[in-house]
Structure 1
Amino acid sequence: MIARAEINALLKKLDVIAPTGYFLSLHIRFAAPLMRFQTYPETWAEFYFQNGFALRDPTIAWGLSTTGACRWSALPVPDPFGIMREAAGHGLPYGATLSHGLITSRSIASVANGKREFTDEEIVAVSAILRQLHELAEPPAGLTKAQKDALRRIAEGERHAEAAAKLGITESAFKARLISTRKRLMARTTAEALQRAQEYRLL
């Protein structure tokens, strides 16, 4: 289940270990992550995006093909587009990529250092952070049909009484469905529950 305060605390630890920034994709499903964080220099991030490097990045290819950790200097994946050379030219000459989780829900982290290779101890620390983030961001397996129906009615802008009538239940029963949905998604409000359900691709 997602716990944003704990996630933020772990990201602060990554800030310390990766002085030149990091890129983090949690629970990559259907070719897109459920959550993504990026602190690389803005010039590199913009250059990377403009050149469509995400589809050609050897660090991502490596992370999707295996789990573990690898320094960029030892990546066994071909780099025909010279992305790692471009990264070095933008102040990211040293780095490491780490991958964790099943292929159906993989989490990948890349960390950068502008001055030196990461030590074994630092890589172990990043690996531990990645595993914790992966677990914290784990979405629920699914919602019941009743919970999905209730959220869809809210997403369409219907009021409780109107939504309940369309579902053929009482308004109090409809509200009970929303309460159970909020609990399931660990959300404080229905709006937050709807947002998380969409982020988790549960609707």
Structure 2
Amino acid sequence: MVVQAKINEIAWLAPSGMQISLRISFGAPVCSFNLYSPEWINKYTELGLMMYDPNMKWAYENIGTCRWSTLKDGDTHSILKMAEGYGIKYGATVSCRTQNQVGNRSIATFGRNDREYEDAELTHLHNFLQNLHDEVTPPTNITNAEIEALKMLKQGMIIKEVAAELGVSDNAVKQRLSNARRKLKANTTVHATALAQQYGLI
């Protein structure tokens, strides 16, 4: 996935790990990546820390960047102190959304153990997340007919079966799939189906 490759490129800025959730809507992201240590992920999950995490509270209430050190006063459950025990002494939280849009947002946290994040690094991380957020925007011009054809293929049907089910020609189905690939910027129909599922279209 292109997103994964871009995350790998930014890993040097988060030697202790990162967590990225893209285009969160109704509490669920289009996709997410958690590169913190398995030990920290397990502890965080086991104790249900997300609902108390000052990073999450800040990210849902703000757009921009902040250092974890500025959130310590609101850390009522000592989550940031706990993270230090897992090699995450310093961190940055980033929140962004589409410009002039109230809808879904993307949130990321980045961690390190050696020093605070510099202003230029915070700007870089914000630009990085904003670019990812914009990149995983689902197309608005894909039609219900194109989505329906992808959905049927995902269910294991072949083009001839899709055509029969929809009462259209094989060529009509192929055209819908071609349009879907173009709009989703997919190389293959399998790729288009995966992207449509990732975007919650099917």
The verdict on a shared fold, with TM-score over 0.5 as the criterion, is yes
1:188 aligns with 2:187: yes
- Alignment-derived partner of residue 155 in structure 1: 154
Superposition CA RMSD, Å = 1.9
Indicate conservation of the 8 Å contact 1:48/1:54, yes or no. yes
**Unmatched segments (≥5 aa) in structure 1:** none
- Alignment-derived partner of residue 110 in structure 2: 111
Q: Could you tell me how far 1:22 is from its partner in structure 2?
A: 1.2
CA distance in 2, matches of 1:12, 1:190: 26
Q: Could you tell me how far 1:143 is from its partner in structure 2?
A: 2.5
- Alignment-derived partner of residue 133 in structure 1: 132
CA distance in 2, matches of 1:128, 1:186: 22
Deviation track 1:59-104 (CA, whole Å, cap 9, x = no partner) reads 1121111101111110277333221121112111111101111552
Deviation track 1:32-61 (CA, whole Å, cap 9, x = no partner) reads 111212221221112112222223322112
Q: Could you tell me how far 1:116 is from its partner in structure 2?
A: 1.4
Alignment CA distance shift 1:62-1:189 (3 Å): same
Q: Could you tell me how far 1:8 is from its partner in structure 2?
A: 4.3
- Alignment-derived partner of residue 52 in structure 2: 56
- Alignment-derived partner of residue 87 in structure 1: 83
CA distance in 1, matches of 2:78, 2:121: 26
- Alignment-derived partner of residue 123 in structure 2: 124
Percent identity of equivalent pairs = 36
4+ aligned runs moved over 6 Å, structure 1: none
CA distance in 1, matches of 2:24, 2:175: 32
Aligned residue type for 1:149: E
